[in-house]
Amino acid sequence: MGDIYNYVMILTYYKILFYWHSNCCIKKQNGYYSNLVSLRVDGFMNKKGITLIELIIVMVIIAIGAVLTAPGISGWLPIYRLRSATRDVVSLMRLAQIKAVSNNTFYRVSFDTANDSYILEYQNTGGAWVLEGNDQKLPTGVKFNTTFAGNITTFSPNSTATNGTIILNNTKGSMKTVRLLGLTGRVRIE
């Protein structure tokens, strides 16, 4: 920090000296250049730019704005988390449907309402369910309940699925419903 300060001071000194010499010191009087008062009068202080005081004032205004907007963030954060969790659940269900059709095997999404997590599984040729990927946790403050039997929805290779809904809610009382239409396998957010 000290090096930067020294550098700025040296640059400022040379800037003043150069300006004074080139604009104010046209002739010598009694062995000296004209007085420094002409430095202010001739317009050195009228040059365009910002001063340190102006910079500090702008930084204070920005800090005050940040302090005033911080409480607003806590108001929309639970809603953002609910929307994000809803999109993630729907994306995984659509992925299960696509993989079931493309791989010609059954896929399912298992919901663990006690731990607020869900995971994708597929059925191997022996009929056992195998985990595909890691379990995904809901964001903080978001919970869900399902109407699926055993909290599991299954997608078949012919693009059908089990009927049911998933209701996600947050700490603010907001709620999103994900509806799965079994006959078509369509996943819809309501």
Query: How do residues 4-44 score in pLDDT, each as one tens digit?
Result: 655 555 655 555 555 545 555 444 455 554 444 444 444 45
Q: What is the pLDDT of residues 64-81, one digit of tens each?
A: 888 887 777 777 888 899
Residue 95 and residue 107: Cα distance in Å, rounded? 9
Q: Where does the chain hold its CATH 3.55.40.10 domain(s)?
A: 79-189
Q: What is the mean pLDDT of residues 167-185?
A: 91
Instruction: Give the architecture (CATH level 2) of 79-189.
Output: 3-Layer(bab) Sandwich (3.55)
Share of the chain above pLDDT 70, in %: 75
Decide: pTM greater than 0.75. no
- Please calculate the CA angle 86-92-96 and round it to the nearest 5 degrees: 145
pLDDT score at 86: 94
Cβ atoms within 10 Å of 109's Cβ, excluding its own: 25
| Nearest in space to 121 (alpha carbons), one of 80, 74, 75, 154 | 154
| Nearest in space to 142 (alpha carbons), one of 115, 180, 108, 104 | 115
pLDDT score at 16: 59
